[in-house]
Chain A
């Protein structure tokens, strides 16, 4: 304990005093007192009135003296002073706001004029085998914008770094070509903007607004499906920008051809430039990502911890980022980097609960979903309304629960594993093109959680 810190010393005294006297006594006599100063071994204690002064001298002097002596022999005596009313409130401690504990606000800063988040740059972008093609294409597009790959279409599953990559392109473009205009938006924002302009009767202004950009980045293009008017608008915008050699970048969670309910003429245009997918990051890339994210926060993690995180959290980089943030917060709150045991502990709450769902449970849920008798799933029937759910069950068991093909076959009424493989492949293929099926499966998945 710091002997010179008045507040700390008083808190120490209070905790000691609290043990030796009754709570009522403690509350009555000690709540409004504090140490004003320590001078030449004498502790000056501020009390509210003469009542308190007399009582301290009479009752608590020996106790207090004993406590301060235990802290240090430097303290010779305690003096009691009655403090002026306006000084009664103890000097407010400059609250030690641990600035680092708060997430820096700049993370959420977004440049209004181009919608880009300056946090997303190539410096923080980890390049691995899973995305080096996309990265190379991005660099090529930056080299000769509007000419090399136009449009650049990047797709991949959620949390693979699509947004990071395309925003980084935007930020880099701004840096390389200071005079030119960049704009980033999501397709959803585009739709809202468009409908708003229709409502307000300013469709022309809307058209002009988007035609002025030298680089247009549109995120999550798949949400345009079924929005016919917006698609038409985008189609025209695309044509205009493409004809004037303005670079366009799209991102989506699936290849252009697989986006459902989009006009073919738009689809073909989306695919006309360069379509690149970002795959699942391999273990080395994930480790690199963990290191990089941690280093950005100024934390060095042991190899063991990095490896553990990278192996446990596969797939989404966003989850890895979340875990790293978790560790960062941990570190700042507790001080010191967490060891493997602590990380394992906090990861447990982070990872998805281990799915130990019985096959029967899934069969029940799916049968219920399609309104068929669950027994029919196990039967040898080839009725169309049963075959499809059965295939979906197989697909789910394989995809979500990693059950082996032969096991799935045996569990579902003794089918051959090749049948199961065929079913899984079939559904997997169809999911990409059939939005109804994809939605059904998504709904079933929520039922299973």
Chain B
């Protein structure tokens, strides 16, 4: 095999692909490598850790065809050291790959590529939707943090994606709070739902291009295909809890506050939160304000009162402040609405004029 590629493109592609290679060295050597394939489809870079996989196209000049596997870490280090314009050449002879860039020349030992697994594509291509990459990217990065870190319940460590009536709904919860975000789709024919491990979704989000992306899925596997290439992830095979049940249907009080007030007041109160990261919020409909209160025996206490439009009855609830501030990453709306259904019942936070988001957080015991 012998190929010539623009340095910049090579470097970018290698960085993306390397993220998908297995980082644990104890496993199969082929899994911690990047596979470079040149054939009728041009040049392709492949990597997989058996959870996710990537197959990227690369434009370049193919002198001769062939396949080679190179340790991802090495290739990544080389790629990040490339500077300036110009082309890089990779030539494979025996079990050595020679990389020539400008004046430099390095030889790398290759890995037997026979062990490199094939990257599975969903079997039923009928389940597919087209979404702008940038949307999907934001969706995954915003919502993945709400999923559980523990793998004890694989369904909670996953993002639930449901496609129904031309809307893509993404849900993540760790049983203390829940985030639901909706994205309109251009084509409305497809229906379906799947669970993608949140960890994988984050990885994929970082590798997605901003262009239109075809998402296809079956029972066990999903793929994100763009012009640049294909990303796949295994799916969680579990039943997602019926989260709609826990969303309170009635409310006793609602407050609308400015996002920037909310953000800075919360930030200051956080300093005074105790070891349980507890912050108390109170709704006061008479004075029309919304307040944070935090007390730490070692530091002191703080009281923050924000002007708000409050309607309903007075109420006090306590929350983990991390769960409150998380909502700020989920919506860009200027004002935030907080709806409470009573003591011991979850609080719903939405962005004003942002119907796409629903954020639910359970209160702490008082």
Flag whether A86 is at the interface (Cβ < 8 A): yes
With known contacts A28-B50, A82-B237, A55–B28 Cβ distance under 8 A = no
Per-position contact with A for B10-30: 1 when CB-CB < 8 Å, else 0?
000000000000000011110
Which of B28, B118, B219, B220 has a CB less than 8 Å from the CB of A28? B28
- Give the contacting residue for A49; candidates B27, B118, B220, B238; CB below 8 A: B220
Considering the chains assembled together, what is the distance between the CA atoms of A64 and B311 in angstroms?
69
Query: Does A73 count as interface, using CB distance less than 8 angstroms?
Result: no
Indicate which residue in B26, B28, B219 contacts A25 across the interface (CB closer than 8 Å).
B28
**Judging by beta carbons under 8 Å apart, are A85 and B155 in contact?**
yes
> Chain B: which residue is nearest A32 at the CB level?
B50
Q: Check A28/B31 contact, CB under 8 A, given A84-B237, A85-B154.
A: yes
* Residue A51 at the chain B interface, CB threshold 8 Å: yes
For window 211-245 of B, CB contacts with A under 8 Å fall at 219-221, 234, 236-238
Cα of A29 to Cα of B31 in the assembled complex, Å? 11
**What's the nearest-Cβ distance from chain A to residue B86, in Å?**
37
Contact B220 A82 (CB under 8 A): yes
- Would you call B117 an interface residue if the criterion is a C-beta within 8 Å of the partner chain's C-beta atoms? yes
Contact in complex: A49, B117 (CB < 8 Å): no
A24 touches B27 (CB 8 A): yes
**Residues in chain B near residue A83, CB distance under 8 A:** 237
Contact B28 A54 (CB under 8 A): no
What residues on A are CB-neighbors of B219 within 8 Å?
82
Residues of A contacting B50 in the complex (Cβ-Cβ under 8 angstroms): 28, 48-49, 51-52
**Is A205's CB within 8 Å of the partner chain B?**
no
The residues in A between 206 and 263 inclusive whose CB is less than 8 angstroms from any CB of B are none
Question: Are the C-beta atoms of B220 and A24 separated by less than 8 Å?
Answer: no
**B19-50 residues at the A interface, CB under 8 angstroms:** 26-29, 31, 48, 50
Q: How many A-B residue pairs have CB under 8 A?
A: 56
Give chain A nearest CB distance to B314 CB in angstroms. 44
Tell me which residues across on chain A come within 8 A of B115, comparing CB atoms.
Answer: 22, 24-25
- A49/B155 in contact, CB under 8 A: no
| A85: contacting residue among B27, B51, B120, B237, CB under 8 A | B237
Q: A residues within 8 A CB of B238?
A: 84-86
Q: How far is the CA of A242 from the CA of B120 in the complex (A)?
A: 92
Q: Is the CB of B117 within 8 A of A24?
A: no
Q: Are B118 and A58 in contact (CB under 8 A)?
A: yes
Known: A49-B234, A85-B237, A86-B238. A55 touches B31 (CB 8 A): no
- A372 to chain B minimum Cβ distance, whole angstroms, is 68
List residues of chain A with CB within 8 A of the CB of B236: 85
The distance from the CB of A307 to the nearest CB of chain B, in whole angstroms, is 57
Interface size on B, residues (CB 8 A): 23
Of A22, A25, A54, the contact of B120 (CB 8 Å cutoff): A54
Given A58-B118, A85-B154: A51 touches B234 (CB 8 Å cut-off): yes
Residues in A neighbouring B221, C-beta threshold 8 A:
49-50
Among residues of A, the one whose C-beta sits closest to the C-beta of B197 is A85
Considering only residues 137-187 of chain B, those with a C-beta below 8 Å from chain A are 154-155
Which residues in window 36-73 of A have CB below 8 A to B? Answer: 48-55, 58
Would you call A51 and B154 a contact (CB within 8 A)? Answer: no
Given A83-B237, A84-B238 in contact, is the A49-B51 Cβ separation under 8 Å?
Answer: yes
CB contacts (< 8 Å) of B155 on chain A: these are 85-86
Taking a contact as CB atoms under 8 Å apart, the answer to whether A28 and B120 are in contact is: no
CA distance A25 to B50 in the complex (A): 13
B53 contacts the other chain (CB 8 A) = yes
The answer to whether the Cβ of A5 comes within 8 Å of any Cβ in the partner chain is no
Given contacts A49-B221, A54-B120, contact A24 B48 (CB under 8 A): no
Interface centre among A54, A85, A86 (most CB of B within 10 A): A85
B31 adjacent to A50 (CB under 8 Å): no
Binary B-proximity of A6-49 (CB < 8 A = 1, otherwise 0): 00000000000000001011011100000000000000000011
Residues of B within 8 A of A49 (CB): 50-51, 220-221, 234
Instruction: For the complex, give the distance between the alpha carbons of A25 and B26 in Å.
Output: 11
Residues of A within 8 Å of B234, CB to CB, are 48-51
A24 touches B120 (CB 8 A): no
In angstroms, Cα B325 to Cα A23, docked, is 47
Encode B52-63 as 1/0 by CB contact (under 8 A) with A: 010000000000
CB of B265 to closest CB in A, whole Å:
41
The chain A residue with its CB closest to the CB of B51 is A49
| Closest Cβ neighbor of B53 among chain A residues | A51
- Bound CA span A85–B195, Å: 11
B27 contacts A28, C-beta separation under 8 Å: yes
Given the known interface contacts A25-B115, A82-B219, A85-B236, the answer about A51 and B27 at a Cβ–Cβ threshold of 8 Å is no
- Taking the nearest CB of chain B, how far is it from the CB of A128, in angstroms? 64
- Cross-interface CB contact of A53 among B26, B27, B119, B120, cutoff 8 Å: B120
Q: Which of B51, B220, B221 has the most CB of A within 10 A?
A: B220
* Chain A residue, CB-CB nearest to B219: A82
Least distance between B221 CB and chain A CB atoms (Å): 4
Q: Which residues of A contact B118 (CB under 8 A)?
A: 54-55, 58
A–B pairs, 18, beta carbons within 8 Å: A24-B115, A25-B115, A27-B28, A28-B27, A28-B28, A28-B50, A49-B50, A49-B51, A49-B221, A50-B120, A51-B48, A52-B50, A53-B220, A54-B118, A58-B118, A83-B237, A85-B236, A86-B155
7 A-B pairs besides A27-B26, A84-B238 with CB distance below 8 A are A25-B28, A28-B28, A28-B31, A51-B234, A54-B120, A85-B236, A85-B237
**CB-CB nearest 10 A-B residue pairs:** A49-B234, A85-B154, A50-B120, A84-B237, A50-B221, A28-B28, A24-B28, A82-B220, A54-B120, A51-B50
Binding site for A on B (CB under 8 A): 26-29, 31, 48, 50-51, 53, 115, 117-120, 154-155, 219-221, 234, 236-238
